[in-house]
Amino acid sequence: MVFTSLSFFIFISVILILYWSTGSRRIQNIILLIGSYFFYGFIHPWFCFLLGISTVVDYFCGLGMKRYPEIKKRFLVISLCSNLGMLGFFKYFNFFIENVNAILIWIGVGSSELALSIMLPVGISFYTFQTLSYTIDIYKEELTPTKNFIDFALFVSFFPQLVAGPIERAQRFLPQIQNKRTWNTESFFSAIPLMIWGFFKKLVIADNVAIYANKVYLLESPTPIMLFAGTLAFTLQIFADFSAYTDIARASARLIGFDLIKNFNAPYLAVNPSDFWRRWHISFSTWIRDYLYIPLGGSRVDTHRKYIFVVVTTMGLSGLWHGASWNFVLWGFFHALILIVYRMLGKAGRWRPQNILSKCFSIAVMFFIIVFSWGLFRTHSVSWYFERSLSTPLGFGTDSLLPASVIVAFVFLYSSPLLISFKRNRIIGKSNFRLSVVCGFLIFLISIFGRDGSSDFIYFQF
Amino acid sequence: MINKKLNYRAILSTFLGLVVVAAEILFLDGYLRKHIADSPQSVQHYTKWISDLETEKPDILFIGNSITDGGLDEKELSIKLNKKVSKVAIGGSHTAWWMLYIKNVILNSSYKPKYLVIIFRRNILTLPELRVKGRYYRNLAPLMTDDESLLNNLAYKRSLSPLEFFLYENFYIFREREFIKKQIEDWVKGKISLLFSNDKSLANKTIKKVFSTSHFDMQRLRKSQDKEEKILDSEQYDFNLAVESSFLPHMIEMLKNAGVKPIFIASKMRTSAKNHKQHPNYKDYFKDLRKYLNNKNIPFYILASDKRLQENHYADGDHFNEQGREIFTNIIQEKIEDVFSKQN
């Protein structure tokens, strides 16, 4: 069930009516749990089975760790193996086989015909990380496991963030499930502008700039300037698309009295690589930091070599999480590279711009680096991407510069609402009148500029 | 616990805000209705099509979309068949457009062609809601009369939610939004063109040239078209279930009443030439379609297995290149001659 579909509106309307018609926290949680499984099963019924397995395994592993602390490591291993095993099988099996085949062919042994037609369960990367945070926190004795199966199952399957995050931590989210939710008019109605803004970003900004990005990346031999323009379009597309999903997810959660973590904080205003990862996909980057980067040693390792190993491993796996394809891995390695270079040049990561000029300069440099990295993410072939980026002529002729200028102009046009949104407090203030005018105007723009046949959210594929 | 205090001021100001927006939209709708209605249409008005038909008086009329437009050489066919052959092939048109053409042009024309040959692909004959919205609406609008209940019921109501249909029926802005968007885009492109030359249309011309399918990586283009075709594939491939809610029976009935003999030809896609796997119900669909048309004594030809059309005869996933056009025209000639021979 896609957020931008009529079926979702009907679904959430029914949920809201049922949910707020009862004051019982227990019944509310049951309604949400059934609703969440219905939401997920709408995509494909058997996905619920996998979700259920993950839920049951981690529920009992959590309780097991508490009851038998002497063998808690075994429970953790069970949780890790089952969750990562399922993720590995459904997401990476064919990728693994393809690469084994490639090696076998290269060494002249032949190839295996083992590739399976495996359907990737939507959201598996997200809910796997979410449940793992639960069991790992229990293992670290930072969290007490819940005995209430309904509460835990809801934590895993909570529909607003099930399919594409944000990845919630049990320490933050489970108490919200376990506590009573009271109706708050202001909170409820504040969700509506957030939802409208999310739909606007997806249907107007992301889906329209996607056309330009897709066209450029279909070209056989784009010039570097054309490729830059297409990648710039993709840079806007991926931010608008993913942040839109988060906004709609947060708004949906707010309607039922939950507060989901913010996933973005103006990522393209980052002043250095570390800053970017504090602003982009925050729930994922903090998960990686807390459960991978820090346990491996983090920034406290005593040698450069160890640091490089930690960063390359962390970012490589981060890339791989995004998809079973080498371009995602190389995207992760590229970010590792810029993090390493920044640490070496930037006073061990402590450098900050000292004045407005250096801040603008560092934002601009970071932005171009990020744009380049998104090209690695978007491309079908890394070698093609590098070859086209370094090709000559650069594309200053009319045939290349003119279409590229058009694309850049539209990127600026479609990004202008995002830039204006920084001043929203000044524009709207506390005025409900102004807020409703702005929301009405956004709905109007969605109805005019929203693309027919809107595409799936990009992060659904992860 | 429910907080029963209501902020009446907030409610009133919210309501006023929405009223302001609604008033602006209504004003804009009226303004655009007056101005857009006079703007050039993408295709000619149906009265002009009637006039063309009455002037040309073709024996055989082909109807289709860009596949027919680029793939069929009607002049060559005229010579080979020794009959007057015309084609009406609007890029992006599907059964909605063809139904409107039959209903509002052929039925209203004083001249009726002897044969109407409909060239289509895959299962689009039973997908009435395909290509009726967005920019395709502009192709349909000039063919519409004031009463298009069949079109609304089978195409728009099925593809639009009740709210969308309400907006579509009552707000010009909503119906013409692709055109409005295109006007804004063309304005931006025009301004950028002026940075390069005096020709405002330079950007559009350059973009068309640079992003022509010949510059695309064919494999990636195919993959992206395959993605779209998967969308088509997920649609109804159960012919018997889909036919009664499609335009097909209505088109056949209208042609029968007009004394025009229909001929249906399913074109060959590049995926067939590459022996790609088709939808699992593909064969059953065409088996049922053939049975349906046979029961009505309507000639039907499927070109999917014709080995004369190879992968190298395609410019992209659907359209023929120059060589393909020649072969396709020859194959069509053969099929038409087959129809003639069976009738003799």
Reported ipTM: the value is 0.80
Annotated catalytic, A322? yes
> What's the pLDDT at A195?
92
Cβ–Cβ below 8 Å for A220 and B216? yes
End-to-end CA distance of chain B: 85
Backbone phi, then psi, for A380, in 5-degree steps? -85, -20
Query: How many CB atoms lie under 10 A from the CB of residue B135?
Result: 15
What 8-state DSSP symbol labels residue A278? H
Q: How many angstroms separate the CA atoms of A341 and B37, rounded? A: 60
- Predicted local confidence at residue B217, as pLDDT: 82
Do the beta carbons of residue A128 and residue A87 sit within 8 Å? yes
Q: Name the catalytic one among A44, A322, A335, A380.
A: A322
Measured CA to CA, the distance from residue B58 to residue B60 in angstroms comes to 5
What CA–CA distance (Å, rounded) separates B23 from B14?
Answer: 14
Q: Which residues of A touch B220 (CB under 8 A)?
A: 217-218, 380
Give the burial class of A13: count Cβ atoms within 10 A of its Cβ; 0-12 exposed, 13-18 middle, 19 or more buried: exposed
For residue A442, give how far its alpha carbon lies from the nearest alpha carbon of chain B (Å).
10
- Residue in B16, B130, B132, B192 to test binding to A, most A beta-carbons within 10 Å: B192
Closest to B184 (Cα-Cα) out of A134, A445, A355: A445
Paired tokens of B327? 């072969």
Using a CB-CB cut-off of 8 Å, the residues of chain B touching A403 are: 203, 206-207, 210-211
Distance CA A418, CA A117 (A): 40
Query: Which chain B residues are within 8 Å of A399, Cβ to Cβ?
Result: 206, 209-210
Contact residues of A toward B, CB < 8 A:
6, 23, 182-185, 189, 214-215, 217-221, 226, 380, 398-403, 405-406, 409-410, 413, 431-437, 439-441, 443-444, 447-449, 451-453
Give whole-number Cα distances, A62 to A110, A141, A151, A215, in Å: 45, 11, 13, 49
CA distances from A354 to A279, A357, A390 (A): 20, 8, 34
Strand order in the sheet with B261-266: B85-89, B60-64, B115-120, B261-266, B300-302
Give, in order, the Cα–Cα distances in Å from A10 to each of A19, A161, A188, B304. Answer: 14, 18, 18, 42
pLDDT attached to residue B1: 43
Residues of B in contact with A214 (CB under 8 A): 224
Structure tokens at B211: 């992003």
Give the pLDDT of residue A455.
Answer: 64
Cβ separation B17–A433 shorter than 8 A: yes
B173–A409 C-beta distance less than 8 A? no
CB contact under 8 A, B17 and A218: no
B140 neighbors A408 (Cβ within 8 angstroms) = no
Please tell me the pTM assigned to this model. Answer: 0.85
Q: Quick check: helix, strand or coil at residue B263?
A: strand
Q: Are A265 and A409 in contact (CB under 8 A)?
A: no
Phi, psi of B63 (to 5 degrees): -130, 140
Q: Are B268 and B68 in contact (CB under 8 A)?
A: no
Q: Please name which of A119, A147, A151, A122 lies closest in space to residue A26, comparing C-alpha atoms.
A: A151
- Six-digit token string for A329: 């891995």
3-class SS at B63? strand
Q: Do the Cβ atoms of A75 and A64 come closer than 8 Å?
A: yes
Buried b (16+ CB within 10 A) or exposed e, B160-199: beeebbebbeebbbbbbbbbbbeeebeebbeebbeeeeee
Nearest beta carbon to residue A220 from set B9, B10, B217? B217
Per CB-CB distance under 8 Å, the chain B contacts of A387 are none
Are A455 and A210 within 8 A, CB to CB?
yes
pLDDT tens sequence for chain A (462 residues): 777 777 888 899 999 999 999 889 999 999 999 999 999 988 788 889 989 999 999 999 999 999 999 999 999 999 999 999 988 888 888 777 778 878 878 777 766 555 556 677 888 889 999 999 999 999 999 999 999 999 999 999 999 998 888 999 999 999 999 998 888 888 888 899 999 999 999 999 999 999 999 999 999 999 999 999 999 999 999 999 999 999 999 999 999 999 999 999 999 999 999 999 999 999 999 999 999 999 998 888 778 888 899 999 999 999 989 888 888 999 999 999 999 998 887 666 667 778 889 899 999 999 999 999 999 999 988 999 999 999 888 888 888 999 999 999 999 999 999 988 888 777 787 788 888 888 888 988 888 888 766 566 777 666
Provide the pLDDT for residue B89. 92
Contact B14 A433 (CB under 8 A): yes
Distance from CA of A183 to the nearest CA of B (A): 5
Q: Report pLDDT digits (tens) over B180-192.
A: 888 889 999 999 9
**Chain A, chain B: beta-carbon pairs less than 8 Å apart:** 117
CA distance A165 to A333: 23
Tell me what percent of chain B is helix, strand and coil, each rounded to the nearest 5. 60, 10, 30
CA distance B73 to B326: 7
Stretches where chain B sits below pLDDT 50 are 1-3
Question: Chain A neighbours among B 22-81 (CB < 8 Å)?
Answer: 22, 24-25
Residues of B in contact with A22 (CB under 8 A): none
Q: Do B14 and A398 touch (CB under 8 A)?
A: no
Contacts of A401 in chain B (CB under 8 A): 196
Contact call for residues A230 and A215 (beta carbons, < 8 A): yes
Vertex B134 angle, CA B130 and B139, to 5°: 75
Long-range contact set of residues B237-241: C-beta below 8 Å, sequence gap at least 24: B237/B123, B237/B279, B237/B280, B237/B281, B237/B282, B237/B284, B237/B285, B238/B281, B238/B284, B238/B285, B239/B123, B239/B126, B239/B284, B239/B285, B239/B286, B239/B288, B239/B289, B239/B292, B240/B288
Report the C-alpha gap between B195 and B8 in whole angstroms.
53
Chain A residues close to B16, C-beta within 8 Å = 433, 436
Cα dihedral across residues B110, B116, B118, B119: positive or negative: negative
pLDDT given for residue B218 in this prediction: 75
Residue A322, token pair as written in the block: 């995004």
Residue of chain A with shortest Cα separation from B172: A448
Task: Suggest the residue from A199, A218, A223, A456 to mutate for an interface test with chain B (most B CBs closer than 10 A).
Answer: A218
Residue of A nearest to B213 (CA): A219
Contacts for A384-392: CB closer than 8 Å, 24+ residues apart: A385/A227, A385/A327, A388/A221, A388/A222, A388/A223, A388/A224, A388/A227, A389/A224, A389/A227, A390/A224, A391/A221, A391/A223, A391/A224
**Which residue in A19, A217, A448 has the most chain B C-beta atoms within 10 A of its own C-beta, making it the best mutation to test that interface?**
A448
Using the Cα atoms of residue B332, residue B338, residue B341 and residue B343 in order, give the sign of their dihedral: negative
Do the chains contact at A403 and B211, CB–CB below 8 Å?
yes
E strands, A176-273, are: none
CB atoms A448 and B180 under 8 Å: yes
Three-state DSSP state, A219? strand
Contact assignment for B177 to A437 by CB distance below 8 Å: no
Cβ distance of A448 and B17 shorter than 8 Å: no
